[in-house]
């Protein structure tokens, strides 16, 4: 498995986790719990954004990984 494939797989997993956190955030009635989920969503979004940037860099530097 190439590095690009691993990054893409990690991104897909994180996006799934983000969707689950969003669902939990919407379902909870407790303000403190909702705050924890919201903070987790923000951190997850930042990680996803960083990995997407890294993937773009990787694909630019190693064109053979683009689209795989």
pLDDT attached to residue 59:
82
67 inside domain: no
End-to-end CA distance of the chain: 10
Q: Any residues with CB less than 8 A from the CB of 4 and at least 6 apart, and which?
A: 55, 58, 59, 62, 65, 66, 68
- Our CA angle for 62, 64, 65, nearest 5°, is 75
pLDDT attached to residue 62:
73
- Per the structure, the complete domain to which residue 41 belongs is given by 3-60
pLDDT tens digits along 9-47: 999 999 999 999 999 999 999 999 999 999 999 999 999
30 inside domain: yes
Model confidence band, residue 4 (pLDDT cutoffs 50, 70, 90): confident
Q: Give the predicted TM-score (pTM) of the model.
A: 0.84
Provide the CA 68 distance to its chain's centre, in angstroms: 18
Report the domain count for the chain. Answer: 1
66 inside domain: no
Q: Any residues with CB less than 8 A from the CB of 14 and at least 6 apart, and which?
A: 44, 47, 48, 51
28 inside domain: yes
């Amino acid at each position: 498995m190439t590095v690009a494939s691993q990054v893409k797989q990690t991104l897909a997993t994180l996006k799934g986790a983000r969707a689950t956190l969003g669902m939990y955030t919407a379902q909870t009635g407790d303000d403190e719990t909702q705050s924890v989920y919201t903070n987790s969503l923000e951190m997850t979004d930042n990680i996803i954004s960083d990995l997407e940037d890294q993937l773009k860099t990787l694909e630019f530097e190693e064109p053979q990984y683009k689209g795989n």
